[in-house]
Structure 1
Amino acid sequence: MEKLNCVIIDDEPLARDVVESFAKSVPFLNISATFEDPVEALLYIRNNSVDIVFSDIEMPKLNGLEFVRALGNVVVTIFITAYRDFALDGFETGATDYLVKPVRFDRFLKAVNKAKDYLELKKSLSIQQVNNDRIFIKSEGKLIKILLNEILYIEAQGDYLKIVIPSATYTTQTTLKSMEEMLSLPNFFRIQRSFILNLEAVRSVNGNMVELVNGKSISIALNKKEEFFNLLGIN
């Protein structure tokens, strides 16, 4: 079995040791490095092959949420926190799971199996990026070319994505996080946990609801509203 390379980031030595000992008990995990400083971890991950990051949320210099945003969703992240209330914020950054301290081995095992399943799904290549302006997706037994600037919005539906363009709607088996990693154009924005939209497709905004040019209405997550308005140039 090919092992998944893991990095552990926590400013508490005991917490790092617990996660490391758990990881050593799982046959498909390999601990590549452990870090107290998230900035050092960021540099390491950008220059090495890493599959899974276990990261504390409350850390000096750079907290876990800021760390993942700086990293840009290039690895699977499992947050570790002493505060259950941080879980929702963690998921909004695209984290695969979160563990509450003190971490239990059974809960750790559930999280890493979830990460492993996600990585295996990603390798199935339901979406193939050709270049920065187009992708091919597997849908209805064939490969379909989609120009990125034609996408109105993308909706997560379990292990599937619904990709909507003006002339058609396609469904393919992959995750929203995997799709988000391919969207290199700056006008795509993850407006909430289940939706990514094309800012060019916005027709109007009414309170917490966004109407697109095709008539579709999508709610804005409260913690995304300020950033969304800034991207649209709304004060």
Structure 2
Amino acid sequence: MEKLKCIVIDDEPIARDIIESFISEIPYLELKASFGESAKALMYLQENTIDIIFSDIEMPKITGLELVDSLTNPPVIIFITAHRNFALDGFETGAADYLVKPVRFDRFLKAVNRAKEYISLKKTASVHQINSDRIFIKSEGKLIKILLNEILYVEAQGDYLKFVINGASYTSLGTLKALEEVLKLPMFFRVQRSFILNLEAVRSLNGNIVELIDGKTISTAVNKKDELYQLLGIK
């Protein structure tokens, strides 16, 4: 069995020791490195390919959330922290799971098995761009052709993407961050963490609320509103 390469990031030595010991108990995991500082972990990730990151969230200088958000193509993330109130932010980054300290081994194993399943699915599911006006997505075991100008919006739903076109929708494994390399300006714009929309599908604007031609309303992130208005030619 090919082992999954992983790293641990936590500024608390005892917390790192516990996770490292848990990793050593799971045959299909291989610990490649362990860091007490996010900055050093970030440098390592820029030069090495990893399957799973086990990371604390609240750390000095660079938080776990900021570290993950800075990665262009992040591996599977499992956040481990003492603060339950970080759960929502953790999942918004696309984290596979969120563990609260003190972490039990059985709960850790459940999170790792979930990550393993996701990695397996990721290897067999993707979005394929054939040329500049169409893509193929894998959905329900089939490759489905979608013309780019038919897409109204794409919504992130956990580990999956929901593609909404005129009269239909399809779900495929993937992340918006990766999809941004395919669906990009001048036709598409990511208005917030969970949505990429077709600018031609915009029917109306009301403050930071966008209404699309199918009646769908989407809230725009505060830092994206002005850019959206400019892209639509609104001064």
- Normalized against structure 2, the TM-score is what? 0.82
Verify: 1:102 aligned to 2:125, yes or no. Answer: no
> 1 CA distance for matches of 2:229 and 2:105?
47
> 1 CA distance for matches of 2:87 and 2:223?
20
> 1 CA distance for matches of 2:21 and 2:45?
21
Indicate if the aligned counterparts of 1:53 and 1:78 stay in contact, CA closer than 8 A.
yes
Summarize deviations over 1:23-48 as a string: whole Å, max 9, x none.
11111111111111111111211211
Indicate if the aligned counterparts of 1:189 and 1:198 stay in contact, CA closer than 8 A.
no
Verify: 1:169 aligned to 2:168, yes or no. Answer: yes
> 1 CA distance for matches of 2:119 and 2:138?
18
Cα deviation for residue 210 of structure 1 reads 2.7
Partner of 2:137: 137
Partner of 1:226: 222
> 2 CA distance for matches of 1:91 and 1:46?
23
> 1 CA distance for matches of 2:141 and 2:101?
45
Give percent identity, aligned residues only: 60
Cα deviation for residue 147 of structure 1 reads 4.8
Given the superposition, is the C-alpha separation of residues 132 and 55 from structure 1 closer, same or farther in structure 2, using an over 3 Å criterion? farther
Cα deviation for residue 159 of structure 1 reads 6.9
Partner of 1:15: 15
> 1 CA distance for matches of 2:141 and 2:95?
30
Q: Secondary structure of 1:47's match?
A: coil
> 1 CA distance for matches of 2:131 and 2:82?
42
Cα deviation for residue 161 of structure 1 reads 4.0
> 1 CA distance for matches of 2:159 and 2:37?
34
Q: Secondary structure of 2:178's match?
A: helix
Cα deviation for residue 107 of structure 1 reads 1.2
Partner of 2:179: 182
Q: Secondary structure of 2:221's match?
A: helix
Q: Which amino acid aligns with 2:190?
A: F
Cα deviation for residue 205 of structure 1 reads 3.6
When the two structures are aligned, how many residues end up with a matched partner? 227
Structure 2 unaligned residues grouped into runs of 5+? none
> 1 CA distance for matches of 2:208 and 2:226?
15
Cα deviation for residue 67 of structure 1 reads 0.6
Q: Secondary structure of 2:14's match?
A: helix
Q: Secondary structure of 1:121's match?
A: helix
Given the superposition, is the C-alpha separation of residues 79 and 132 from structure 1 closer, same or farther in structure 2, using an over 3 Å criterion? farther
Cα deviation for residue 117 of structure 1 reads 1.1
Partner of 2:192: 191
Given the superposition, is the C-alpha separation of residues 173 and 233 from structure 1 closer, same or farther in structure 2, using an over 3 Å criterion? closer
Summarize deviations over 1:196-235 as a string: whole Å, max 9, x none.
43455333344664311332223x3xxx731332432489
Alignment of 1:149-160 (within 5 A): 150-155=150-155
> 2 CA distance for matches of 1:100 and 1:93?
17
Given the superposition, is the C-alpha separation of residues 24 and 134 from structure 1 closer, same or farther in structure 2, using an over 3 Å criterion? farther
Indicate if the aligned counterparts of 1:162 and 1:169 stay in contact, CA closer than 8 A.
no
Q: Secondary structure of 2:128's match?
A: strand
Alignment of 1:35-46 (within 5 A): 35-46=35-46
Cα deviation for residue 150 of structure 1 reads 4.8
- Normalized against structure 1, the TM-score is what? 0.82
Greater mean deviation of Cα atoms: 11-20 or 204-213? 204-213
Structure 1 unaligned residues grouped into runs of 5+? none
